[in-house]
Each structure stands twice: as structure tokens, then as C-alpha cells.
């Protein structure tokens, strides 16, 4: 049960960090039409690496919780959610809001 809670907490922290990163990168572009932040894209990619590592950690802990714990559904949902966010995070960050429409 502790593994499922830990995995869910890590998923929440990583999701919030990703949303903040996306907002910092794309808000100036959408609000003011200013591409001033986009030259810092390499910095945003470096910041994305720990977020993806957190998501992969949540995936592993979710799988472990699904195998060991009594709350298998929570572990499976956490593992699936964190894996989907880890896979989708780079295209969404790269294309901004346009990636959400495919």
C-alpha cells in the first residue's frame, strides 16, 4: 500500500512540474505572440530530463505496487498514467498546444 501512495505522489509532483515547465515555455508565445523563450529550448529539455526520470520511477513503483500490494488497481493506474505522460511529454513540450490536437 505504501508503494502505491509513493508512486501516486511522485506522479503528482512530476505532472505539476511538467505543467509549470510547459506554462513557462509556451505562455509568452500564446499570450503575446513572442517567441522570446523558445531560444532557451535546450535549457527546457535539460529540465525535462528529471521530470521524465520521476515519471519512470513512478512507473516502476506502480508496477511493483500492482504486483505486491492489495490495491492493484491503483498501482496499475499510476503506472499507466506515468508511462503515458513520460512518452507524451517530449512531443507536447516540443510542439506546444499543437501536439494535444493530434
Instruction: Calculate mean pLDDT across residues 9-34.
Output: 88
Q: Distance between CA atoms of 86 and 58, rounded to whole angstroms?
A: 10
Residue 57 to residue 82: CA distance in whole angstroms: 9
Q: What is the pLDDT of residue 98?
A: 65
Length of the chain: 102
Tell me the backbone φ, ψ of residue 29, rounded to 5 degrees: -70, -45
What predicted TM-score, i.e. pTM, was given to this entire model? Answer: 0.85
Rounded to 5°, the CA angle 11-4-61 comes to: 70
For 23-47, write each residue's pLDDT tens digit: 888 887 778 776 666 677 888 889 9
Residue 23 and residue 96: Cα distance in Å, rounded?
Answer: 9
- Higher-confidence residue: 96 or 64? 64
Amino acid at each position: 500500500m505504501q508503494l502505491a501512495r509513493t508512486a501516486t505522489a511522485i506522479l503528482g509532483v512530476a505532472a505539476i512540474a511538467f505543467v509549470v515547465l510547459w506554462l513557462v515555455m509556451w505562455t509568452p508565445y500564446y499570450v503575446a505572440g513572442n517567441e522570446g523563450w523558445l531560444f532557451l529550448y535546450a535549457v527546457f529539455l535539460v529540465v525535462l530530463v528529471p521530470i521524465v526520470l520521476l515519471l519512470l520511477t513512478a512507473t516502476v513503483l506502480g508496477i511493483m505496487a500492482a504486483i505486491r500490494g492489495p490495491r492493484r488497481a491503483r498501482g496499475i493506474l499510476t503506472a499507466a498514467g506515468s508511462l503515458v505522460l513520460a512518452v507524451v511529454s517530449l512531443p507536447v513540450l516540443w510542439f506546444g498546444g499543437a501536439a494535444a490536437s493530434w
